[in-house]
A and B are shown apart, each in its own frame.
Chain A
């Protein structure tokens, strides 16, 4: 067996590993094994690549890899669980960037005059999609990190500008196909970066997770395109696997949020009206603010309390204090459970991860469908740093941007208590009528701080 065949066999094994990994990652029992199988497949593929005949610059490759590991491992290890979504965005973006650079470098290394048209097309696709994924992910990162407004950003003639950029790119693609011009390819790369930005700008913060999943799928396709350019089976297989499964995952995520994908990607253009319409109501209605003592007494003498955690709990790192409050209430004979919205936190499943970190027992966690029928028989719904996921507008107001999203029916409990930093609207940037409901009491402040006060108050009551 020649060395080349042996290397190709290693790539085949790696590709099988990736398929098994995806299968494993989609079931709770085998998820962790799946990830390890993928990592092993990756190690095999990388090792085999080192054995290629004629691979030069091995020293430089190793140095570059060491730099990547030196940045990537600490970044991935030290990041807080609350910041996971933006880390996924960041790592996805660099992957897209790498795919674009690989395509363009391979183009530089070959003689453009003799290059077949389909080869040029492969390069263009890799550069275009990889760059969109890079700049789109960077912007998604900035939105999640709250380095910029999480609201959809719209400006006059947005659709016209998008159309112009799109047509310009199409023009460049056709010209490059005919001329094989390197300079135009660089300009195309720049334009694609712009396209990624204007594509993401109008997408609201709450929808960013779905967007990241879509960009993840894009990066997979860019990798597959690079695989075509390099005649590499393993790149085509792995890239396409991610591209196809990523598309499906994106659709499943948007279904979990009760939205269609086009609605998520393009709905911001209409939402400006709704946002301005909702602000006028704010001044007219009054809210009731309570003291920790009032609420502590209310909780201590309830029969059943549900805690509805949201991103505010995660930001305040209050999952441990929430558990302490639950334990204190349990000790008083109060029945306590957590109602977890599928997209609580910032990504589907994010809240489960955070509460698992605080060792909240599995039996106390109830998924939304399981929790909602229990709401009318619940005395107090304690909403900790959540807002959009309990907003009745999603159920009752057809014009609302979140209309159709399944919610936790906190409003059906006898009393509702909101622990919130301020009256500011939630991540989706829309008003919540439940805050003004007569049975609602507000307790303003940092979630961890107010929860601690509640623990003390419950103990005294």
Chain B
């Protein structure tokens, strides 16, 4: 086992603990947005796709890299946009703020 592998493995183990500890007691209404948000985060495979594409030598590697970049980009942008739309819906129903949609949206802007 090389040092590089051990280093990555250390990162892996620590990240697993962080991932497990960082989300605790999520209210059920946030399950869907959290899933969608973490879905966007694993879109970081785009970085890997770019590296693979950027070092491609053969036609096959270029084609596969190209496909990987398209798929990963879809994952990133789709993931973030969908999550944002979901969370946007929640903003107009904060407990202390009854009232209509347009009005609520204006107060949203005022608060943020």
Chain A residue with the shortest CB-CB distance to B98: A361
A91 B75 Cβ-Cβ under 8 A: yes
A76 B37 Cβ-Cβ under 8 A: no
Is A363 located at the chain interface by the 8 A CB criterion? yes
Known contacts A223-B45, A244-B17, A246-B38; is-contact A105 B54 (Cβ 8 Å): no
The 8 Å CB contact of A69, one of B38, B41, B77, is B77
The 8 Å CB contact of A95, one of B45, B67, B91, B97, is B45
Q: 1/0 per position for B29-58, CB-CB distance to A under 8 A?
A: 111111111111111111111111111111
* A44, chain B: closest CB distance, angstroms: 10
Please name the 4 residue pairs, one residue from A and one from B, whose CB atoms are nearest each other, closest first: A68-B73, A244-B19, A95-B75, A55-B54
Q: 1/0 per position for A208-251, CB-CB distance to B under 8 A?
A: 01001100100110011011101111111111111111111100
A-B contacts, CB under 8 A, total: 387
The 8 Å CB contact of B38, one of A22, A79, A87, is A22
Chain B contact residues: helix, strand, loop or mixed: helix
A68 B50 Cβ-Cβ under 8 A: no
A236 B87 Cβ-Cβ under 8 A: no
Taken together as a complex, chains A and B put the C-alpha atoms of A430 and B73 apart, in Å, by: 40
Chain B residue with the shortest CB-CB distance to A357: B89
B70 A67 Cβ-Cβ under 8 A: yes
* B48, chain A: closest CB distance, angstroms: 5
Q: Which residues on the A side are within 8 Å of B71 (C-beta)?
A: 68, 94-95, 97-98, 101
Chain A residue with the shortest CB-CB distance to B75: A95
Interface positions of A from 184 to 203, Cβ below 8 Å from B: none
Known contacts A76-B78, A94-B74, A108-B58; is-contact A22 B37 (Cβ 8 Å): yes
A84 B82 Cβ-Cβ under 8 A: yes
B39 A92 Cβ-Cβ under 8 A: yes
**Which of A58-66, A152-160, A390-398, A439-447 forms part of the interface with chain B?**
A58-66
Q: Which residues on the A side are within 8 Å of B20 (C-beta)?
A: 244-245, 247-248
B-side interface residues toward A, CB under 8 Å? Answer: 1-2, 4-5, 8, 11-12, 15-20, 22-58, 60-62, 64-95, 97-101, 104
Known contacts A213-B35, A242-B41, A362-B95; is-contact A349 B68 (Cβ 8 Å): no
Chain A residue with the shortest CB-CB distance to B64: A105
What are 22 A-B pairs at a CB distance below 8 A? Answer: A26-B23, A46-B47, A91-B74, A94-B71, A98-B72, A99-B48, A101-B71, A105-B64, A216-B35, A223-B42, A224-B12, A235-B44, A236-B11, A240-B15, A245-B20, A246-B38, A252-B26, A349-B33, A353-B32, A353-B90, A354-B89, A361-B93
Known contacts A28-B90, A68-B71, A73-B77; is-contact A102 B82 (Cβ 8 Å): no
B55 A356 Cβ-Cβ under 8 A: no
B80 A239 Cβ-Cβ under 8 A: no
A356 B92 Cβ-Cβ under 8 A: yes
* A371, chain B: closest CB distance, angstroms: 14
Interface positions of A from 12 to 26, Cβ below 8 Å from B: 14, 18-19, 21-23, 25-26
The 8 Å CB contact of B45, one of A99, A212, A249, is A99
* A343, chain B: closest CB distance, angstroms: 8
* B44, chain A: closest CB distance, angstroms: 4
Taken together as a complex, chains A and B put the C-alpha atoms of A26 and B15 apart, in Å, by: 17
Chain B residue with the shortest CB-CB distance to A130: B45
Interface size class for chain A?
A: 35 or more
A-side interface residues toward B, CB under 8 Å? Answer: 11, 14, 18-19, 21-23, 25-28, 31-32, 34-36, 38-39, 42, 45-46, 49-50, 52, 54-58, 60-61, 64-65, 67-69, 71-73, 75-77, 79, 81, 84-85, 87-88, 90-92, 94-95, 97-99, 101-102, 104-106, 108-109, 116, 118, 209, 212-213, 216, 219-220, 223-224, 226-228, 230-249, 252-253, 256, 342-343, 347-350, 352-357, 359-363, 365
Q: Which residues on the A side are within 8 Å of B40 (C-beta)?
A: 35, 38-39, 42, 91
A84 B77 Cβ-Cβ under 8 A: no
Chain B residue with the shortest CB-CB distance to A221: B42
Known contacts A61-B69, A233-B11, A248-B20; is-contact A35 B37 (Cβ 8 Å): yes
Known contacts A49-B50, A249-B26, A350-B32; is-contact A231 B38 (Cβ 8 Å): no
B98 A25 Cβ-Cβ under 8 A: no
B62 A60 Cβ-Cβ under 8 A: yes
The 8 Å CB contact of B75, one of A58, A98, A352, A362, is A98
Q: Which residues on the B side are within 8 Å of A98 (C-beta)?
A: 45-46, 48-49, 68-69, 71-72, 75
Taken together as a complex, chains A and B put the C-alpha atoms of A325 and B84 apart, in Å, by: 30
Known contacts A28-B27, A57-B65; is-contact A244 B15 (Cβ 8 Å): yes
B19 A240 Cβ-Cβ under 8 A: yes
Q: Which residues on the B side are within 8 Å of A58 (C-beta)?
A: 54
B45 A240 Cβ-Cβ under 8 A: no
B42 A216 Cβ-Cβ under 8 A: yes
The 8 Å CB contact of A242, one of B19, B95, B100, is B19
Q: Which residues on the A side are within 8 Å of B19 (C-beta)?
A: 22, 240-246, 248
Q: Which residues on the B side are within 8 Å of A108 (C-beta)?
A: 58, 60-61, 64
Known contacts A18-B41, A49-B47; is-contact A256 B69 (Cβ 8 Å): no
Q: Which residues on the B side are within 8 Å of A57 (C-beta)?
A: 53-54, 56, 62, 65
